[in-house]
Amino acid sequence: MGNGGNGMRGGSRSFGGMFGGDDIFSQFNEGRPMQHQGPRKAAPIENRLPCSLEELYKGTTKKMKISREIADASGTNCLGEFEFVQF
């Protein structure tokens, strides 16, 4: 009975050695590039909006129409227009 509990000693070390270390999940992507999932984020649009110091101080409402090509669900590019108000 004195030897019954010793069977598990060192078991975790030998199990870890079987997979080459502690992090067995690092082996799943070895040699393969990582793949990005989902749509890529579009670059930000920057446009100048003319305004005076008085408009900045008191506040004003201006309209700006911005167009950008966007892909629909089928992957076809189409022209999307956005209108931003209240600057």
Q: How far is CA 27 from CA 16, 20, 32, 36, in A?
A: 13, 9, 10, 18
The pTM of this model reads 0.33
Domain hosting residue 56, numbered range: 49-87
79, 69 Cβ separation under 8 angstroms: yes
Query: Using one digit for the tens of pLDDT, what is the confidence trace for 50-83?
Result: 889 999 899 888 887 777 777 666 766 666 666 5
The answer to whether position 85 is within a domain reads: yes
The answer to whether position 44 is within a domain reads: no
The answer to whether position 76 is within a domain reads: yes
Total of domains in the chain: 1
The answer to whether position 81 is within a domain reads: yes
The answer to whether position 74 is within a domain reads: yes
The answer to whether position 10 is within a domain reads: no
